[in-house]
Structure 1
Amino acid sequence: MPRTSLDPAAVAAVTARLADVDQRAPEGRQPVHTCYVPADRVTSDTVAEWGRRALDALAEHAPTPADLARVLDLPAASAGVLHAGVRAKLAAEPVEDLRIDFEDGYGSRPDEDDDAERAARVVRGWLADGVAPARFGLRVKSFDTRASRDRGIRTLDVFLTALGDVPPGFVITFPKVTSVAQVEVFGDVLDLFGSDLRFEIQVETPRSIVDRWGRIAIPTFIEAGRGRVTGLHFGTYDYTAACGLGAAHQHLAHGACDFARHVMQVSAAGTGVALSDGSTNALPVGDRVEHGWRTHYALVRRSLAHGFHQGWDLHPAQLVTRYAAVHAHHREGAEADARRLRDYVSRAGGAVLDEPATAQALSASFLRATDCGALDAAEVERMTGLDLPALRALARRERPSDDG
């Protein structure tokens, strides 16, 4: 046995104050979007209606693969698979995540109690009929003022009382956060309900990026959530307006938004908190459908390239370009990514020397692709030689077993 000069007890003493690094991934499947619907417009048919309207928009404005390729400037060779994939997704699962909105999209109304109770009954109907999205919840009013705070808490109370048991996949959106105290108090309010309620923080104020003392704010927000925070959602228009940008420059591709997203990204890394990009208000309606689609498609592709795999959709017709962008993103590099993953697993030493972190990212990408319907499990196994359990092992930085 080789000789060593260090006393193990001395090494243990000097390293005792260190702990293992806790690297967590978001729990479960992350939706590719969140659809926002004002509370007074939510009905038992909302999810199906969004799907029908999206399919109608596809049938009217891009009925063939060639039409979709022309509108979105897609390669003709891939347009057929994308068109069929989008249509199938819209028919099977048009909405992956839905938020019943009691904030900006709803406003201040004297009948908010009634809408909160009615919305809860709608959700109970979804659950009973098996048509609820995989994830859903509500957005309450902010804690900016006492009136807004009191109204938001009351709406949450009315809704949860009428809902009864909190179902899996339920999440609350907490908007316009400006201080760690707001996050702490919101968590304390949720404690009063006696349930393991989770919430996502909307990053839509400069103070949610850099606090009043010049410190990065988000890590303290996540810590203040005491394990309840599941996501950070960027708010495009409140944030850019608060930064002093004019209306013409309030869009997701602005550098001010890039800065905020980068801060969100590094702050949430390794915490298990998921990221979501914001929305675009260029809606595909009337004679602006093609313009709205091109704008939305380009912004979704840009978000995906920046590592934001989720975003907001505000109109059913945006579902067409949401899934076109997500499916194209996952399919375009799939064969090359699969080759790298095969080389890594087989230790073949291909043209690119990948590390465990890259193998983790590659496997996570294939898992996302199967989650959203861009690829199916059989396609992924054909390309990579790995089944889904083996990919999940790599996503946890574990090597799959030799017989896996």
Structure 2
Amino acid sequence: MATGRLTEDVYAGADARLAAADARVAADYPGEPAGRQPVHTVYVPADRYHGDLVADWGQLAVAVLTEHGDQLALEPEVAGRVAAKLRDEPIEDLRIDFEDGYGHPGDDAEDAAALAAGRVLAASVAAGTAPPFTGIRFKSFERATRRRGIRTLDLFLGGLLAEGGLPAGFVLTLPKVTAVEQVEAAVEVLAALEKAYGLTPGALRFEVQVETPQSILAADGTVAVSRIVRAARGRCSGLHYGTYDYSAGLGISAEYQRMDHPAADFAKQFMQVAAAGTGVRLSDGSTNRLPVGDRDAVLAGWSEHLRLVRRSLEHGFYQGWDLHPHQLPTRYAATYAFFREGFPAAAGRLRAYTERADSGILDEPATAQALATYLVRGLDCGALDAPEVRELSGLDRAALDQHVRRLAS
């Protein structure tokens, strides 16, 4: 065995010197979390939410696809998968909205709506008709809306938990963060709600909407979004970009408020850097150009939505917001095309990496992790099937999951 000139005390000294840093890095950067990430979040005003909403949205999406879908010129494989998705699981993540989409109808009306929405969601979960991911967006923790938001959350949980337990895939949305202390306060409120309703500590998690300039850069010049993630104490599951509030906060006129504006990219790149390795997932925002009206209007809305969803995927944002049933066909069309077009190359490269074959591309371990994660995402959303992934990559789903965890560790 070869020996060097350094003694054991040098090795031990380096270990001791970095022990605290090692522990901090392991805690702060646990890597990609286990489990599926939805490809979108559908926002529905609380006063329009009802037990048949998912089925209704699916029917409307199928109808508009039947009427105009030939103009999308989708590959047959993609077209078939989109049609099946709209039939079987049109919405992956549903957020019942008590914030901007709902407004301020008065305390009595919002109290009743919060209780009712919780009960309806519980009934949908029990009936098996709820999407795999659900939750509510309550009003912000800014002074003007803080108490109303907390009360709505309390009453909604009361209605939901009276009919059963907390659903799997349940998540809350904290909007309009203008101070890191609001996140800290939200953590305290959620802990109090868990105690009040007998929930497991840490059961209530939330997404933070990055829709104010103060969510990116704090008044003292520090990067607020990374401080927000840390302030959540492990409860933050996602950072969601808010296209229109953020743009308006920068003084961008309404005509130019869009997901691909340079100011939007600036914010989202900060989000990516802050969230990288933390286990906090990212979501892009929405487009308010809806595919409604006559044929030309629908196709124009679809064209815009397809382009923006594809752009988000290429930029590493695998989730976005949808605001209308007619956006569902293009959400899945863009997503499925993205994964199916890149599938053969990704599977082949991952197979070459795991088998140490000479493929002409020398991939790094981090790239191999990204390839495995790409295939897993394709499987989760329905763009890919397990047999075809196994055939081309040489790995089944369990092996892919193990491979991702091993490379991430």
Q: Same fold, TM exceeding 0.5?
A: yes
* 2:346 matches 1:337: yes
Which residue does 1:80 correspond to in 2? Answer: 76
Counterpart Cα distance in 2 of 1:89 and 1:244: 39
Query: Which residue, out of 307, 319, 328, partners 1:319?
Result: 328
Moved over 6 A (4+): none
Note if contact 2:366-2:407 (Cα within 8 Å) is conserved in structure 1.
no
Counterpart Cα distance in 1 of 2:17 and 2:101: 49
Map 1:189-228 to 2 at 5 A. Answer: 189-194=189-194, 195=199, 196-228=203-235
Which residue does 1:175 correspond to in 2? Answer: 175
Counterpart Cα distance in 2 of 1:12 and 1:204: 47
Counterpart Cα distance in 2 of 1:327 and 1:393: 24
Counterpart Cα distance in 2 of 1:229 and 1:8: 42
Is 31-40 or 3-12 further displaced after alignment?
A: 3-12
Q: Deviations over 1:149-172 (max 9, x none)?
A: 010000011111111132221111
* 2:90 matches 1:94: yes
Q: Deviations over 1:185-239 (max 9, x none)?
A: 0110111112321001000011101111111111111111111100000000000
Query: Which residue, out of 283, 286, 291, partners 2:293?
Result: 286
Is 385-394 or 286-295 further displaced after alignment?
A: 385-394
TM-score (normalizing by structure 2)? 0.92
Map 1:3-402 to 2 at 5 A. Answer: 3-18=3-18, 19=22, 21-22=25-26, 23-62=30-69, 64=70, 67-69=71-73, 79-110=75-106, 111-145=109-143, 147-164=144-161, 165-194=165-194, 195=199, 196-287=203-294, 288-398=297-407
Counterpart Cα distance in 1 of 2:90 and 2:33: 22
SS at match of 1:264: helix
Note if contact 1:313-1:319 (Cα within 8 Å) is conserved in structure 2.
yes
Note if contact 2:82-2:333 (Cα within 8 Å) is conserved in structure 1.
yes
Counterpart Cα distance in 1 of 2:365 and 2:182: 39
Note if contact 1:26-1:230 (Cα within 8 Å) is conserved in structure 2.
no
Note if contact 1:356-1:397 (Cα within 8 Å) is conserved in structure 2.
no
Which amino acid in structure 2 is aligned with residue 97 of structure 1? D
Could you tell me which runs of 5 or more consecutive residues in structure 2 were left unpaired when the two chains were aligned: none
Note if contact 1:55-1:90 (Cα within 8 Å) is conserved in structure 2.
yes
Note if contact 2:347-2:393 (Cα within 8 Å) is conserved in structure 1.
yes
Counterpart Cα distance in 2 of 1:3 and 1:29: 47
Which residue does 1:402 correspond to in 2? Answer: none
Could you tell me which runs of 5 or more consecutive residues in structure 1 were left unpaired when the two chains were aligned: 400-404
Counterpart Cα distance in 1 of 2:272 and 2:346: 23
Q: CA deviation at 1:398?
A: 4.4
Counterpart Cα distance in 1 of 2:253 and 2:307: 22
Which amino acid in structure 1 is aligned with residue 86 of structure 2? L
SS at match of 1:200: strand
Which amino acid in structure 1 is aligned with residue 147 of structure 2? D
Note if contact 2:41-2:322 (Cα within 8 Å) is conserved in structure 1.
yes
SS at match of 1:317: helix
SS at match of 1:36: strand
Counterpart Cα distance in 2 of 1:32 and 1:311: 7
Counterpart Cα distance in 1 of 2:341 and 2:381: 15
Q: CA deviation at 1:181?
A: 0.4
SS at match of 1:245: coil
Which amino acid in structure 2 is aligned with residue 9 of structure 1? D
Counterpart Cα distance in 2 of 1:26 and 1:279: 24
Counterpart Cα distance in 2 of 1:27 and 1:198: 15
Count of residue pairs brought into register by the alignment: 387
Q: Percent identity?
A: 55
What is the CA RMSD across the aligned residues, in angstroms?
Answer: 1.3
SS at match of 1:160: helix
Counterpart Cα distance in 2 of 1:268 and 1:126: 33
SS at match of 1:137: strand
Q: Deviations over 1:322-363 (max 9, x none)?
A: 000000000112111222112111111211100111111111
Counterpart Cα distance in 1 of 2:391 and 2:67: 35
TM-score (normalizing by structure 1)? 0.93
Note if contact 1:357-1:397 (Cα within 8 Å) is conserved in structure 2.
no
